[in-house]
Amino acid sequence: MTVHSLLSMTLNESMKNVLEDLLRNGYTCNFIKKNDYLYCYEKDMNFRSYELNITERFRYEDKSQPSNNSVLYAIESTEYGLKGFLVN
């Protein structure tokens, strides 16, 4: 899933604003959980959890529909000079 298709999904408006802010600040890797790895779509690279740092966490709760709760993680790899995000 590309960053632009993620933005066009029906996201909570404040989550969408935070994601756009992260993108402006260089958090461009869209991380996807795959088995024991986080996969960066844009760089076609797999990372183990110990190779990445969560720099910020944003929790979004929908009290009327708990199944719509989600967490947006801002993630960095100083070793590879990457910044990105994971929506869970």
Q: Angle 31-47-20 (CA atoms, 0-180°, nearest 5)?
A: 25
CA distances from residue 86 to 55, 64 in whole angstroms, order as listed: 12, 24
Instruction: Share the mean pLDDT of the chain.
Output: 84
Kindly report, residue by residue over 40-52, the tens digit of the pLDDT.
Answer: 988 999 999 899 9
pTM of structure: 0.78
Lowest mean pLDDT segment, chosen from 1-5, 56-60, 74-78: 1-5
Q: Are strands 37-40 and 45-47 parallel, antiparallel or unpaired?
A: antiparallel
- Number of helices (H), then strands (E), in the chain: 2, 6
CA distances from residue 1 to 19, 41, 54 in whole angstroms, order as listed: 15, 8, 21
